A and B are shown apart, each in its own frame.
Chain A
Amino acid sequence: MDTKNITHTSAVSSDTQNTSTALGKLIRRPEAGSLLGLLAVFVFFALAAGEIFLMPAGYSSWLNIAAEIGIIALPVGLLMIAGELDISVGAIIPASSLTVAIISGHYGAPEYIGIAAGLGVGLLIGFINGVLVNRTGVPSLIITIATMFGVMGLTLGLTVWLVGSTGVAIVPSETTTYLLGQFIGGMFQITIFWWIAFVVAIFYLLHISPYGNWIYALGGDRISARNAGIPTAGLTTSLFMLSGFCSAFVGVSQVLVYQSAQVLGGQAFIFNSIMCVVIGGVLLTGGAGSVIGIVLGTITFAMVNQGIYFTDIDPNMGSIIIGALLLIAVMANDKFRQLALSYSNKKKK
C-alpha cells in the first residue's frame, strides 16, 4: 500500500510541473473539439432522455453499437490519417460472416477453421485494395468502391451457389460464444472488451511506436515521406489489411452473436465508420488525427444514434441530428486545428 501511495504522489507533482503548458497542450490535441462535442451530446441526452439513459441499460445500448463501429472506425481512421479511404469495409463484414457460417455452419467444419477463414477473407481483400492503390494510382475511394461491389457480388453469387439461399445459420459452440458472442450481465456485448483491446493496440501503433510517425508523414506529404525513406507502398498495404482484418473481426463476431449471416448487411458501417472518424477530428485529407479522437467520435455517434430512442423525439428524425452533428463537428475541428497551428509557447523558459 505504501509504495503505491508514493508513486501516486510523485505522479501528481510531475503533473503540476506541466500545468503551465497544459492549456496549450489541450488546444493542440486534435481531439479537443470532439471532447467538447461528446460532453454536449451526453448532457443533452441525459436531460432529454431522463434517468434510463444513465442506467446500465442506457449505457449498454450505445456501447454495443459503439463497439462494433469502433473496431472498424479505428483502422479506417488510420487510413484517413494516411490519406486514404476504405469503402470496402461494408462488403467485408457480410463476406466474412458468411465465410464463417458456410464453412462451420453449413459444412460443419471446426469453428476455428471458419473463423480463421473469415478473418483471412478480410486480410485478402485489404491486401488487394492496398496493391491496387499502390499500382494504379487511382484514388482509394474509387478502388475500394470497386472492390466493395466485387466482394458483394462474389458473396451473393457464391452463397446462393453453395447454400441455395441468401442467409445461413450457425450454432456456435460454448467456447466461441464465450469469447466472441456473449452478453455480459445480459446486455453488454463482449465486443465492447474487444474494442478496448483494439483501442489499446492501435493507440500504441499510432502514438507510441515509431511507426505512428510514418503514418502521419504518409498522409502529410507522400512524396516527402518516400524521400525520407519510409516504405510508403508497404505501409499503405498494411493499413488496408488492418482495416480488412478489423472489418472481418466484426463480421465474425456478428455471426456468432446473431447465430446467422445475411448477404445484405454491413452497408451502414461504410458511412458510419467514416462519420465517427471525422467527428473525432481526423482530417479528411490526411495528416492529422488521433486514436482518442476516433474513440470520442465513435461514442458521440453511438450516443446520438441510440439516445434518440430514449427521448420523445421521433426516431425517424434522428438522422437530422447526426447530419447536423457531423457538420458542426467538422467546423469545430477546423477551428481547433487553426488554433493548434497558430499556438506557440509564449512563455520563455
Chain B
Amino acid sequence: MSDNKPVLELRNVDKSFGPIDVLHDISLKVNKGEVLCLLGDNGAGKSTLIKTLCGVHKPTNGDILMDGEKVTFNRPRDAADMGIATVHQFGGTFPLMSIGRSFFVGVEPTKGWGPFKIYDRKKANEVAVKAVQDFGITRIDDGDRLIGGLSGGERQSLAIARAVHFGARVLILDEPTAALGVKQAAHVLRIVNQAKKRGLAVIFITHQVMHAMAVGDHFAVLIRGSIAADFRKGERSREEITDLMAGGETMAALEAEIQT
C-alpha cells in the first residue's frame, strides 16, 4: 500500500514565529530507499524545517503526511513514535556515558521482576556493538567504552545505527558531515548509503554540495525560507547548485558589478 506513496511529505507548509515568516509554502516528499538532500546557506530556514519535521515546531499552515495520511506531531516523541529519527551534528549523545548505556537511553533493557528491575548492561552492550558493526564500524567492539572517546564519524555512525535499530523509517541527518575531516565524512556518507539500501527514507541536510552529490537522489535548495529549486540526480551540475545556494543570479550580478 505504502510502496507508491512517499513515506514523508510536506504540503504547502508555512511556519512563522509571530510576525516573522521563516518558511513559505514548502512542499517536499521523500520515498522509501531514497536520499533527499536539503541544501541551503546559513539562515535559509534549514533548522526550522528540521524542527518542523521532527515535531519540535508545528506548521502554521499546511500539512505533514506520512504514507499519504495526514499526521500531527505535538512533541518530538510523537514524531519518534512514527519512525522519524533525527541525528544532530554532534550525534546528540552523552560524552561520559558508555556506548551501551547511551544507545539505550530512555528504552533501557531490563531483567528481573516487579519493582526490582535491573538494567541489563551485558545485553545493552552486545546489541549496541552489533548494531554498529553491522554498519561496518568494526573498530567499536567494547560497549563499555565512553562516547567521548569515539571520533566524530564514529559518533555519527553510532547515532545512525541507533536510529535504524529502533525501527526508524525516516532518518533526518542535520549537517552530519559539517564538523568532520575528509576521511570521516566519507565514512558517514557510506553509512548514509547503507541506510538508504536498507529501505530508509533519508533527509540529508548540508551546505556541502560535494557531500550532497555523493549520496543524493533528489535535491531541494532552500533560500530565505522558500524552495528555490527542486531537481533529481544528474539534472544540475555542481557549479549550478553552488550558484543556487549562494543566491543564484543575485550572486552573478554582484560579481559583474564588482568587475566593472
Residues of A within 8 A of B (CB): 25, 28, 207-210, 212-214, 216-217, 220-221, 224-230, 283, 287-288, 337, 340-345, 348-349
Binding stretch for chain A, among B93-101, B214-222, B240-248: B93-101
Binding stretch for chain A, among B13-21, B139-147, B187-195, B204-212: B139-147
Q: List 5 A-B contacts (CB under 8 A).
A: A208-B118, A217-B97, A217-B102, A224-B105, A227-B80
Q: Is the CB of A217 within 8 A of B94?
A: yes
Complex: A226 Cα to B94 Cα, angstroms: 13
Q: Is the CB of A28 within 8 A of B118?
A: no
Name the B residues within 8 Å of A337 (CB-CB): 96
Q: A209-B118, A217-B102 are in contact. Are A224 and B149 (CB under 8 A)?
A: no
B199 at the interface (CB under 8 A from A): no
Q: Is the CB of B119 within 8 A of A209?
A: yes
User: Which chain A residue has the least Cβ–Cβ distance from B100?
Assistant: A213
Q: Could you tell me the distance in whole angstroms from the C-beta of A30 to the nearest C-beta in chain B?
A: 9
Q: Could you tell me the distance in whole angstroms from the C-beta of A101 to the nearest C-beta in chain B?
A: 35
Complex: A223 Cα to B120 Cα, angstroms: 25
Q: A209-B119, A214-B106, A345-B141 are in contact. Are A221 and B94 (CB under 8 A)?
A: yes
Q: A210-B110, A213-B108, A217-B105 are in contact. Are A340 and B97 (CB under 8 A)?
A: no
B68 at the interface (CB under 8 A from A): no
B83 at the interface (CB under 8 A from A): no
Name the B residues within 8 Å of A342 (CB-CB): 149
User: Which chain B residue has the least Cβ–Cβ distance from A348?
Assistant: B141
Q: Is the CB of A209 within 8 A of B141?
A: no
Name the A residues within 8 Å of B86 (CB-CB): 227
Q: Is the CB of A230 within 8 A of B141?
A: no
Known pairs A224-B105, A230-B105; list 5 more (Cβ under 8 Å).
A214-B106, A226-B76, A229-B80, A287-B97, A343-B146
Name the A residues within 8 Å of B236 (CB-CB): none
Complex: A342 Cα to B145 Cα, angstroms: 9
Select B106's contact among A209, A230, A288, A349, beta carbons within 8 Å. Answer: A230
Select B93's contact among A224, A283, A345, beta carbons within 8 Å. Answer: A224
Q: Is the CB of B118 within 8 A of A220?
A: no
B92 at the interface (CB under 8 A from A): yes
Select B105's contact among A209, A225, A288, beta carbons within 8 Å. Answer: A225
Name the A residues within 8 Å of B118 (CB-CB): 208-209
B135 at the interface (CB under 8 A from A): no
Complex: A217 Cα to B94 Cα, angstroms: 7
Select A210's contact among B88, B117, B144, beta carbons within 8 Å. Answer: B117
User: Which chain A residue has the least Cβ–Cβ distance from B166?
Assistant: A228
**B27-41 at interface with A (beta carbon < 8 Å):** none
Complex: A226 Cα to B92 Cα, angstroms: 11
Complex: A226 Cα to B108 Cα, angstroms: 15
- Give 1 or 0 for each of B93-135: 1 = CB within 8 Å of chain A CB: 1111100011011111010000001110000000000000000
Complex: A344 Cα to B144 Cα, angstroms: 9
Q: Is the CB of B101 within 8 A of A213?
A: yes
